């Protein structure tokens, strides 16, 4: 039976109470990014347009809606840290999203502890169970289909150091659900967690043939 579809062209508007895009592409992992300006000012901010894009070398990235402090700091220093946002840290993560002056320390604002990176100058969130220290590989201004420049910036970085809480490793295997990560959904406030009860497994066709 054919589906009844709501169809629209984004440039003409979606015609709904709230833009569905980030609810459809979701839940999305949180890019909780810490950085430091060339003059030493710390910054910590969450980005919901975030993901991993390559294995070897590991490349992660986030998109910023505008030239925000994180982007400015990373452009200056070429370094940043990704910190895993968990359910226990959700309120702190949200507090770090406040729009404040560039010299304001969001670590202090959100009540989390800054500890030095081992390979980069940017600080890590001590309370986060996983931290990736990163070196900038590309900083790309996004553009539309007509080649028009947008005020959105894609930051890609190579992960050069990884720190994982030993409690999340079982026989050397990382336990995704045990970390209790939070994931961004649609609307102004929706988040989700994951659990082992929701897990299912699929084997790739190529693996079945080997």
Please provide the DSSP assignment of 61-106 as one string.
EEEEESS-HHHHHHHHHSEEEEE--BGGGHHHHHHTT----TTS-H
Question: What's the pLDDT at 201?
Answer: 93
Cβ-based neighbour number of residue 86 at 10 Å: 20
Question: What's the pLDDT at 210?
Answer: 65
Residue 171 zone, left/alpha/beta (φ > 0; ψ -120 to 50; rest): left
Contact between 183 and 26 (Cβ < 8 Å): yes
Phi, psi (degrees; rounded to nearest 5) at 185: -120, -155
Q: Which residue has the tokens 């003409």?
A: 12
Question: What's the pLDDT at 2?
Answer: 83
Which residues does 23 contact at the CB level (< 8 Å), separation at least 6? 185, 186, 187, 190
Question: What's the pLDDT at 206?
Answer: 82
Q: What is the model's pTM?
A: 0.93
- Coil/strand/helix, residue 108: helix
pLDDT tens digits, the chain, 210 residues: what are they?
A: 788 999 899 999 999 888 888 888 889 999 999 999 999 999 999 999 999 999 999 999 999 999 999 999 999 999 999 999 999 999 999 999 998 888 889 999 999 999 999 999 999 999 999 999 999 999 999 999 999 999 999 999 999 999 999 999 999 999 999 999 999 998 889 999 999 999 999 998 987 776
Q: Where are the domains of the chain?
A: 26-209
Which residues does 59 contact at the CB level (< 8 Å), separation at least 6? 52, 53, 137, 156, 157, 158, 159
Structure tokens at 167: 């409690």
Measured CA to CA, the distance from residue 77 to residue 35 in angstroms comes to 9
Q: For domain 26-209, give the CATH number.
A: 2.30.110.10
């Amino acid at each position: 039976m054919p589906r009844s579809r709501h169809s629209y062209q984004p440039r003409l508007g979606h015609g709904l109470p709230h833009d569905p895009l980030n609810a459809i592409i979701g839940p999305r992992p949180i890019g909780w990014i810490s950085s430091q300006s060339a003059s030493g000012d710390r910054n910590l901010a969450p980005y919901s347009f975030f993901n991993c894009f390559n294995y070897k070398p590991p490349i992660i990235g986030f998109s910023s809606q505008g030239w925000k402090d994180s982007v400015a700091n990373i452009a200056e220093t070429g370094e940043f840290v990704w910190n895993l946002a968990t359910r226990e840290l959700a309120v702190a993560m949200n507090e770090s999203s406040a729009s404040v002056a560039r010299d304001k320390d969001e670590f202090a604002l959100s009540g989390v502890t800054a500890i030095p990176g081992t390979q980069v100058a940017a600080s890590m969130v001590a309370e986060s169970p996983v931290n990736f220290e990163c070196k900038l590989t590309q900083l790309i201004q996004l553009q539309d289909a007509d080649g028009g420049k947008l005020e959105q910036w894609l930051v890609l970085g190579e992960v050069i150091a990884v720190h994982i809480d030993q409690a999340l490793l079982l026989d050397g295997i990382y336990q995704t659900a045990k970390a209790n990560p939070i994931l961004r959904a649609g609307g102004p406030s929706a988040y989700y967690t994951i659990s082992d009860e929701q897990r299912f497994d699929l084997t790739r066709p190529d693996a079945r043939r080997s």
